[in-house]
Amino acid sequence: MVAIEIIREAPKALLHDHLDGGLRPATMVELAREGGYAGLPTTDVDELARWIHRGADRKSLELYLETFAHTVGVMQTRDALVRVAAECAEDLAADGVVYAEERFAPELHVERGLSLDEVVEAVLEGFRIGEARAAAAGHPIVVRAILSAMRQAARSLEIAELAVRHRDEGVVGFDIAGPERGFPPTRHLDAFHHIARENFHITIHAGESFGLPSIWEALQWCGAERLGHGLRIADDITHDADGYHLGRLASYVRDRRVPLEMCPTSNIHTGGAPSIEEHPIELLRRLRFRVTVNTDNRLMSGVTLSSEFATLSSAFGFGLDEIEWLSINAMKSAFAPFDLRLRLITEVIKPGYAHLRSLAMREAVVA
């Protein structure tokens, strides 16, 4: 087992994290007071964090999503969006994240008059501010944005066009999010076709609360390059005395190296997996799927990327080698340009783990 203090020092990449799922509780209270939002269940910072965590851990994706009413409720002004984005970059950098793709749904932040473009511009400005603060603190990070359309709404083409419009300013991809069951990705084909025509990037929430048909549609109809969560791909794997056998869809996902944006603790909270020990992430890793480890919603699930790796290390015996492999998987799968991905892998991630291993060896010799 690797101590969380060491994992925090390890350079990591994060592909699946929701901006409105990672606010600091103290920031929520302050923004609610400044913006006149009266919906918070409490203004006690510690109790608010506990309330949100309890609300999210109800073993249902639909119930899990209800907690976002409060985070989105305080993110309706330009200043609030800038602040939340800047703090997000700082918090991730302090946790050892060197590259992050933060996703958010611009259509959820226009209740007080902001345009969709103004929402995106505010968030990207916040990321730039946070990157500068993190670098000054000795924790450089690169943060990019993925724009999500809500799958139960009808603005996906508009959001896809918005993503393309801001692709040279820090937006690197398009996603659909929200309740999976009853809202298949094929409802948004116009949006996905627009993204494909523009040679842009697509990731889709699929295989979290719904099964293999959701994954198949995301890949074969919508052109997903990555799968948000994707844990239900394990339903297409059987086991008998001769070993593990992959069905056609599971074989396709593994053969094509489709990245799985897995979020273990969140998957338990939404009912996608019964426990960490029974989560399919370890099986998929051993079968050499392109697994990545992510946080999903740091506030709702009470996690950091380091704590997720520490949990997996405790449950499955992950060492630095496994954590490095998973981190490189994420960086390889990022929507950032190839040169940036290669630089971070060769100049930051691999040297970082080599340094940690050398420290561990010296400590072992001294002991």
pLDDT in tens, 231-283: 999 999 999 999 999 999 999 999 999 999 999 999 999 899 999 999 999 99
DSSP codes joined into one string, 133-197: HHHHTT---EEEEEEEEETTSS-HHHHHHHHHHTTTTTEEEEEEES--TT--GGGGHHHHHHHHH
Domains defined along the chain, listed by start: 4-366 (3.20.20.140)
Share of the chain above pLDDT 90, in %: 89
User: In the prediction, which pLDDT does 180 show?
Assistant: 78
User: In the prediction, which pLDDT does 365 show?
Assistant: 66
| Structure-model confidence comparison of residues 179 and 305, the more confident one | 305
User: In the prediction, which pLDDT does 255 show?
Assistant: 98
Amino acid at 207: G
Tell me if 82 sits within 8 A of 125, measured CB to CB.
Answer: yes
User: In the prediction, which pLDDT does 364 show?
Assistant: 67
Mean pLDDT is lowest, of 39-53, 62-76, 242-256, 303-317, for 62-76
Helix 78-94 to helix 116-136 angle (10° resolution) is 40
User: In the prediction, which pLDDT does 60 show?
Assistant: 85
Residue 237: left (phi > 0), alpha (psi -120 to 50), or beta? beta
Average pLDDT over residues 57-81: 91
Tell me if 120 sits within 8 A of 19, measured CB to CB.
Answer: no
**Helix and strand numbers, DSSP H then E, in the chain:** 18, 10
Helix (H) or strand (E) holding 246: strand 243-246
Catalytic residue among 208, 217, 261, 308: 208
For residue 366, pLDDT beyond 80: no
Share of the chain above pLDDT 70, in %: 99
For residue 344, pLDDT beyond 90: yes
Question: What's the rounded Cα separation, in Å, for the pair 8 and 142?
Answer: 17
Helix/strand/coil percent split, the chain, to 5: 55, 15, 30
Distances from the Cα of 13 to the Cα of 93, 141, 152, angstroms: 10, 10, 30
- Say what the pTM is: 0.96
Tell me if 261 sits within 8 A of 228, measured CB to CB.
Answer: yes
- Among candidate residues 15, 19, 22, the one with its CA nearest the CA of residue 172: 15
User: In the prediction, which pLDDT does 197 show?
Assistant: 98
Amino acid at 286: R
Amino acid at 246: L
Averaged confidence pLDDT in the chain? 95
Mean pLDDT is lowest, of 289-298, 319-328, 355-364, for 355-364
Question: What's the rounded Cα separation, in Å, for the pair 12 and 305?
Answer: 8
β-strand partners of 171: 145
Provide the Cα torsion 307, 312, 317, 323; round to 10°: -70
Q: Over the Cα atoms of the chain, what is R_g? A: 20
pLDDT in tens, 184-217: 889 999 999 999 999 999 999 998 877 899 999 9
* 285 confidence band (pLDDT: 50, 70, 90): very high
- Among candidate residues 308, 288, 311, the one with its CA nearest the CA of residue 15: 308
User: In the prediction, which pLDDT does 360 show?
Assistant: 80
pLDDT in tens, 112-165: 999 999 999 999 999 999 999 999 999 999 999 999 999 999 999 999 999 999
For residue 367, pLDDT beyond 70: no
Distances from the Cα of 153 to the Cα of 40, 150, 209, angstroms: 25, 5, 18
* 306 confidence band (pLDDT: 50, 70, 90): very high
Amino acid at 364: A
Question: What's the rounded Cα separation, in Å, for the pair 323 and 280?
Answer: 17
- Among candidate residues 198, 265, 192, 238, the one with its CA nearest the CA of residue 21: 265
User: In the prediction, which pLDDT does 123 show?
Assistant: 99
**DSSP secondary structure code for residue 296 in this structure:** B
For residue 90, pLDDT beyond 60: yes
User: In the prediction, which pLDDT does 59 show?
Assistant: 86
Average pLDDT over residues 2-18: 97
Question: Is 278 a catalytic site residue?
Answer: no
